[in-house]
Chain A
Amino acid sequence: MKLVACVKQVPDTTEVKVDPKTHTLVRDGVPSILNPYDHYAVEECVRIKEKIGDGSVIVITMGPPQARSALMKCLALGADEAVLISDKAFAGSDTFATAYTLAQAIRKLGSIDMVFCGQQAIDGDTAQVGPEIAQQLGMPQVTYVEKIEIDDKHKLTIHKQTEDGYHILEAKAPLLLALLPPTSFQPGNPPMSRILKAKKKPFNIWDAEKLGGDKSKFGLDGSFTQVIKTYTPPSRGECEIIEKEGKEAAKKLGEILLKHEALIKR
């Protein structure tokens, strides 16, 4: 079985600060990390490959040359081969153009059984790229995947999170999965020995020429959405601290809440 994991390098949004004067994002010094959702997806993809016994995991990313480090990490996590799709032509891609480019790359890799994505990337939070790739490849998809099991006959049993619990689904390849890490998941660093081993694995870099496909669907040209303005959200104002002892404070809070529209309009 041939498995593909799509990963993205993202700024660590927990480290992003807003400049109090200019109200713009301070990105200097913000570390780039492998999207935590994708980190988990790669680990799962490798686990499924090992369970099946034969097969390979190819990790792909579309991004700037620095995104190489995210792929190297994935190779250290157990992926077998990496593809970095990098070219100025891809700059400014929205989710449609990103998905088009990734789908084109996946097609180029030959007949793929399963595609693993993170449920969302922590910078854009759109959760759209996975389903858009699936549509372009004509593959069924399962999003919000919490758990995957595969049996000897390659039948998949999938837990899909729903708003009030989960569904247990049955499926077979080919398909695309968008994975949600368990709440306890902490992205860890692979051991040094694996990092060294990763350096010997095949690493491909594809530019627009090499990728092929319809150039009008790349980058800014292929993007239908346009960001026309970004700004910091209006500040919420100061927090009013109720400066009283526990019991009195609780009573005062009660008074405030009784005047709140959510309680009046019950």
Chain B
Amino acid sequence: MGIEIILDKCTGCGLCVKACPFAAINIKDKKAEIEANCTLCGSCVEICKFDAILLERPKPSDKDLSEYKDVWIFVELREKDIKKVSFELATKAREIADTLGERVGAVILGGKVKHLCDDIAAYGVDVIYTAENENLIQYNTSNYAGILTGLILKYKPNIVLFPATHLGRDLAPRVAAALEVGLTADCTGLSIKDGLLLQTRPAFGGNIMADIISPSARPQMATIRPNVMKVQSPDSSRKAEIISIPVDIDPKAMRIIIKEIIKTTESGTKSLDEADIVISGGRGMDSAENFKILEDLAETINGVVGASRAAVDAGWRPRSDQVGQSGKTVSPKLYIACGISGKIQHQVGMKSSDTIIAINTDPEAPIFDIADCGIVGDLFEVVPILNDELKKNLSKD
């Protein structure tokens, strides 16, 4: 078990040296040599063109499961700030760790991240593992997965939680496969049962719920849907121990290069999957211009505008606004569906919202099956009056 260089195959090309995020490989006498600080993260194996590196990680059955302690979260950033979902994860991790009598650990990777440590500690995090490098400012799968895999092998957490965002769903399976452990996707509920993490998730397009455990391997890993877990109020007097992990990243070893970053939503606006209030429009909106009335309502109540696929297909809204099976999953406190029939593919993306309001001319529209409250009526009449009503009352205080 461990890592080994097959000397016959190694050409001393040095690619692995560049790829190692922990600077644990050197070239000596034209052959790669692994140093003691190797974490078995596997970044070198992936890049080697000559199959000259043999890596064998401990098998789950060989592991003493009781060695694994603490509940970790992966902290996702948005530009320079911590994403709201990370606070949701921290809150949940705290609750689970208290049940187990363990600590909460958080991993933050990025350019400069030290100043964020107090922010996340306030949600109940005890230990923070940070790695700072300018090549970590933009997420990239290989480096992030390599560093995380290495950290988990070294510190042996019992549970690791990721956000079920674009980033988390790209990163978590990579790490789980490297560690040979289970991973439960898109959880909407987490608790501890008989000492194990009980993970609840929707499947079959939201038609059923499944309870899942991962008893035989550690860590137990899951991705968690944004907006589902409650956030506790922060306690700024809480401080965390900070462990900095030195990393060394050579951009030349990156095999996928970001050429351009295009934003279709205005910066500064809240993202759809983080919003407390979502107001979505569908084919019933009739035109791109008509979305103005939803924008106005959104401004009044501090919401974000979403869309059904029909509205996106018609070119009225950008794709990043689409809610549903092939779009985003949202679970805000309040979801207002305007001119949306609510077919199953749309429902999948919004069914777990706390409150659903529907405005639709067709009383038979399936959206009314899942709505809490609805108006059978013309949205062009209802929405502007609703907006006036709310504006009048909300500006009073």
* A contact residues vs B (CB 8 Å cutoff): 11, 13-14, 16, 18, 25, 94-96, 99, 122-132, 134-136, 138-144, 146, 157, 161-172, 175, 180-181, 183-184, 223-233, 236-237, 239-242, 245-247, 249-251, 253-258, 260-263, 265-266
Q: How far is the CB of B287 from chain A (nearest CB, A)?
A: 18
Show 14 residue pairs from A and B whose CB-CB distance is below 8 angstroms, ordered by the A residue. Answer: A16-B207, A125-B185, A125-B202, A140-B255, A143-B170, A157-B259, A169-B256, A181-B326, A227-B211, A232-B207, A241-B376, A253-B382, A257-B334, A262-B276
Taking CB atoms, residues of chain A closer than 8 Å to B267 are 164
Taking CB atoms, residues of chain A closer than 8 Å to B376 are 241
- Given A125-B185, A227-B212, A263-B301: A99 in contact with B325 (beta carbons within 8 A): no
Partner of B60, one of A224, A228, A265: A224
Taking CB atoms, residues of chain A closer than 8 Å to B377 are 245-246, 249-250
Q: For the complex, is B134 an interface residue (Cβ under 8 Å from A)?
A: no
Taking CB atoms, residues of chain B closer than 8 Å to A226 are 212-215
Q: For the complex, is B26 an interface residue (Cβ under 8 Å from A)?
A: no
**Contact in complex: A239, B373 (CB < 8 Å):** yes
**Contact in complex: A127, B185 (CB < 8 Å):** yes
Closest residue of chain A to B352 (Cβ to Cβ) is A233
Partner of A171, one of B210, B256, B333: B256
Excluding A225-B214, A239-B368, A247-B381, 18 further A-B contacts by CB distance (< 8 Å) are A13-B204, A25-B207, A25-B208, A128-B172, A162-B261, A165-B263, A169-B258, A170-B257, A184-B313, A224-B214, A231-B209, A233-B208, A236-B370, A241-B363, A250-B386, A251-B389, A262-B355, A265-B276
Query: What is the total of A-B residue contacts with beta carbons within 8 Å?
Result: 279
Partner of B334, one of A125, A128, A236, A262: A262
Partner of A250, one of B210, B216, B258, B381: B381
**Contact in complex: B260, A168 (CB < 8 Å):** yes
Q: How many residues of chain B have a CB within 8 Å of chain A? A: 103
**Contact in complex: A233, B166 (CB < 8 Å):** no
**Contact in complex: B326, A263 (CB < 8 Å):** no
Partner of B166, one of A94, A139, A162, A253: A162
- CA distance in complex: A138, B43 (Å): 9
- Given A165-B262, A239-B369: A96 in contact with B183 (beta carbons within 8 A): yes
Partner of B217, one of A18, A142, A143, A224: A224
Q: Is the interface of A mostly helix, strand, loop or mixed?
A: mixed
Closest residue of chain A to B303 (Cβ to Cβ) is A262
Partner of A263, one of B271, B319, B394: B394
The 6 A-B pairs with the shortest beta carbon distances in the complex, nearest first, are A224-B182, A254-B389, A13-B205, A135-B177, A250-B385, A126-B185
**Contact in complex: B389, A250 (CB < 8 Å):** yes
Partner of B205, one of A125, A129, A241: A125
